[in-house]
Amino acid sequence: MSRYHFIPAWVAIAALAVTPAQAQFGGILRKVATPTPSPDSGEDNGGCPKGKKGSRAGRNILGGVLNEAIGSAASKAGVYSYVPIAEVSDTLTNAIACKLDPAEQVQAAKATEEAVRGEEVGSTASWTSETRENVSGSSTIIARNDEAGGRQCINVTDFIIVDGEETRATKRMCREPGQPRYTLAQA
């Protein structure tokens, strides 16, 4: 069984070897053009890398193999990529969540919940990362409107700083009649 442990690593190495071969042999190897995304596409990915359509099972298998093979090497090299966790998906936008590690996502979501608890325009809650230096953020209510039928909605601006890079995202959150908390409104 231990010899199968190295198969994902060899697959990753083989995949990485294609790029240098293309660079060395130029026109000998067929070059495939990479499609460029159109700026006017109707879909908003919220700041996270856009996924591909296709076989979910195939992506899951290949993703698991590649993740195991090269995940620790990427972490050691300082390459990080965050995915929004399910626990905060109804509170944080992808533009914010993709820049935060899972613990920071929870902190940012708690700050949003604290800010909206008062329901007052201008109400703000701030947080500082417990897992990384130079990471902090805040959530501020910037507008409120009550809709017909008892639905209450607010606009909240999330602001984060990650290693000096500022990101701001405004989101609309609503609370249906009888519900205890605000959640991201569907676009």
Minimum mean pLDDT among 44-58, 136-150, 162-176: which range? Answer: 44-58
pLDDT at residue 27, rounded to an integer: 47
Q: State the pTM of this model.
A: 0.58
Dihedral angle at the C-alpha atoms of 78, 83, 86, 91, nearest 10 degrees? Answer: 100
Q: Give the pLDDT mean for 113-123.
A: 91
Higher pLDDT, 152 or 72: 152
Per-residue pLDDT band for 75 (boundaries 50, 70, 90) equals very low
- Residue 45, pLDDT above cutoff 90: no
d(CA 100, CA 82): 6
Alpha helices in the chain (DSSP H): 7-25, 56-76, 94-97, 102-118
CA distance 167 to 85: 19
- The residue type of 81 is S
Domain ranges of the chain: 107-184
% of the chain with per-residue pLDDT over 70:
56
pLDDT tens sequence across 25-43: 444 444 444 444 444 444 5
Which residues 6+ apart lie within 8 Å of 145 measured at CB? Answer: 153, 154
In the predicted model, what is the mean pLDDT of residues 105-110? 95
Q: Which residue has the higher pLDDT, 98 or 68?
A: 98
